[in-house]
Chains A and B, each alone.
Chain A
Amino acid sequence: MTAILRTDAVTMRFGGVTAVDQLTMEVMEGEIRGLIGPNGAGKTTSFNLISGALKPTSGRVFFRDQEISGRDAADIAELGVVRTFQRPALFGDFTVLRNLMVARHLHARESLLQAVLGSGRAMEAKNEGIAMDILRFIGLDKYAGMEAANLPYGHQRALNVAAALATEPKVLMLDEPVAGMNPVEKEAMTGLIRRLRDERGITIILVEHDMRTVMGVCERVTVLDFGKKLAEGTPREIANDPRVIEAYLGSEETVA
């Protein structure tokens, strides 16, 4: 197995605060990796550095052998490293299906002239088929015609994952995918994450507070604390690591 994503001593400073400090991490192709840590440990900042939302102060990020640090988020997404958001992220005025069609635009490759002449019809029909397949996969197909803003919360979060999938990612980075969900929604999302890897071969990186989810679905876990990598290993190793337990002491979270 080779590393599909690699960070090399990535550091991010905001003024005097070092949010991510010399983070070096390798994610293998086809892996489900968890990224955990107490609040403010730098998990989401790490996500933003990998996905291109932020440019690292120093250090480099590689996708396969290509350096991606400092590149525009859209370029990184086009390469196949796609992230979702902690908040419900969707195009509220569009229907659920239209949200996915917009996410398919990388594969539609429509020019202005084609748009005017309507010569991209066959392509549009093909993309619509793919979009519907993804909605079925996620379980949102019966909402295809609904305005996205009207979806229930759990489905809104799932729609963001569906949109990310529609870009055909190689690496999918999920930012707290089960936050705020009820147990049933959580169970559905966890199952979905497994299926994404098993059935579609997508490498998954997961930022999550919910320990049950992390321990249940991740194969390896990286623990951050104050921006630094504290530990890395299988969920069992992590759960028994005294440094990890100490980092979590005093916070409400418990390592299950």
Chain B
Amino acid sequence: MRILLLIVVAALAVAAPYLVPEYYVEILVLFLINLLLASSYRLLTTTGDWSLSHVVLMGVGAYATALAAKLLGWPFWLGLPLAGVASAVIAAALVYPLLRTKGFGFFIASFAFGEFVRLIWVKFTNPFGGPRGMINIPTPELGSIDFFFATPYYYLTLVIVALCLWILYRIDRAALIGDVMKAIYMDEDLARSIGVKVNHYRAMAFITGGFFAGIAGALLAHRLGAIDPKNFDINVMVYLVIWVVVGGTKTFWGPFLGVIVMTIIFETSRPLLEWRPLLFGGILIFFLIFMPGGLESLLPKRWTSRGSSATEVTG
């Protein structure tokens, strides 16, 4: 059943550029990038750390590959891993002071740290381009294949995002590590009492999540060709929070539901113009009050629960 579903989704993903008009392929690329961003964000939320600096970490990846490409002439294929590593390094620098905080304190402190990084991009015109950001970020090439057009870029993104999501899935589902992270959120005192080094796992989640946010940032930078600090500000962060709140974070698939539903709402609500943020705010409040578990809580329980990760226990 699950295999069948996977095959159908994979087939649809591969056929998608030929099923929709060109403009929608552009949206699908952004959709995939957002999927990776939301899924990487969920990793931190499993330990209970709701960070407000995650899109800034995405920005670190975007700026890293843009700088490498423009100053050093690095190709996309080197810039992409560089982006992940750069984001992970900045995440590591931010997380150790952040570990002293929890809950609401963490929320606010992560915002402050994120803004600090973002304001560096605003303030330093050289090399970050200041408020106008960076332009002419080259599109990837592979031999004679040019990824300028939306469809080839879509396939490039699809492969990279699928690989990253597979890794995140493994961390969540096949491993003890993912469960230890969730255990910290469920009962931190109990986790400590059985020897869980809480801060070690919180840092691991934050840095690993940051790495994949950086990959998403690189994919975004090379698609848009231009980035500026506003791409990674608190507004974007709030959208990310809405995605995962709408979808839910308890299961690996929650953020997927959130990104899918909110992308559809986002694209169909364009006629509302300046009233759109009101709609999104209303959706956020609705979910927080009436469906705190997110859309995933509507799924049949047997789809989302599991006995043991590696060996499924029936029960």
Q: How far is the CA of A145 from the CA of B193 in the complex (A)?
A: 23
Q: Is the CB of B193 within 8 A of A115?
A: no
A window 100-158: CB within 8 A of B: 101-106, 108, 110, 112, 114-118, 120-121, 124-125, 128, 144-147
Q: Is the CB of B177 within 8 A of A144?
A: no
Q: Which residues of A contact B208 (CB under 8 A)?
A: 112
A43 sits at the interface (CB 8 A): no
Contact with A along B185-225 (1 / 0, CB 8 A): 01101111111111000001000100000000000000000
Q: Which B residues fall within an 8 A CB radius of A?
A: 167, 170-171, 174-180, 182-183, 186-187, 189-198, 204, 208, 250, 305, 307-311, 313-315
Q: Is the CB of B176 within 8 A of A110?
A: yes
Query: Nearest chain A CB to B63's CB is how many angstroms away?
Result: 25
Q: Is the CB of A72 within 8 A of B192?
A: yes
Q: Is the CB of B193 within 8 A of A85?
A: yes
Q: Is the CB of B190 within 8 A of A89?
A: yes
Q: Is the CB of B192 within 8 A of A115?
A: no
A180 sits at the interface (CB 8 A): no
Q: Is the CB of A102 within 8 A of B176?
A: yes
Q: Is the CB of A118 within 8 A of B308?
A: no
Q: How far is the CA of A44 from the CA of B135 in the complex (A)?
A: 62
Q: Is the CB of A72 within 8 A of B197?
A: yes
A218 sits at the interface (CB 8 A): no
Residue ID in chain A nearest B195 by CB atoms = A77
Residue ID in chain A nearest B177 by CB atoms = A115
Q: Is the CB of B194 within 8 A of A128?
A: no
Q: Is the CB of B167 within 8 A of A116?
A: yes
Kindly identify which residue among A84, A92, A146, A167 contacts B195, using a CB–CB cutoff of 8 Å: A167
Q: Is the CB of A97 within 8 A of B308?
A: yes
Q: How far is the CA of A99 from the CA of B167 in the complex (A)?
A: 24
Contact with B along A80-105 (1 / 0, CB 8 A): 00111100011111110110011111
Query: Nearest chain A CB to B305's CB is how many angstroms away?
Result: 7
Chain A interface mostly: helix
Q: Is the CB of B179 within 8 A of A94?
A: yes
Q: Which residues of A contact B177 (CB under 8 A)?
A: 110, 112, 115
Q: Is the CB of B194 within 8 A of A77?
A: yes
Query: Nearest chain B CB to A169's CB is how many angstroms away?
Result: 10
Q: Which residues of A contact B194 (CB under 8 A)?
A: 77, 82, 102-103, 105-106, 163-164, 166-167
Kindly identify which residue among B170, B192, B250, B311 contacts A74, using a CB–CB cutoff of 8 Å: B192
Q: Is the CB of B178 within 8 A of A98?
A: no
A171 sits at the interface (CB 8 A): no
Q: Is the CB of B187 within 8 A of A89?
A: yes
Query: Nearest chain A CB to B165's CB is how many angstroms away?
Result: 12
Q: Which residues of B contact A193 (CB under 8 A)?
A: none
Kindly identify which residue among B175, B182, B186 contacts A115, using a CB–CB cutoff of 8 Å: B175
Q: Which residues of A contact B176 (CB under 8 A)?
A: 101-102, 104-105, 108, 110, 115, 120, 124
Q: How far is the CA of A124 from the CA of B173 in the complex (A)?
A: 13
Residue ID in chain A nearest B311 by CB atoms = A128
A192 sits at the interface (CB 8 A): no
- Would you mind naming 29 contact pairs between A and B with Cβ atoms under 8 Å apart? A72-B192, A74-B198, A75-B197, A77-B193, A82-B193, A82-B195, A83-B193, A89-B193, A91-B182, A91-B186, A91-B187, A93-B182, A97-B313, A98-B179, A102-B176, A102-B196, A104-B176, A112-B204, A115-B175, A116-B170, A116-B171, A120-B175, A124-B311, A144-B315, A145-B307, A146-B315, A147-B305, A163-B190, A166-B194
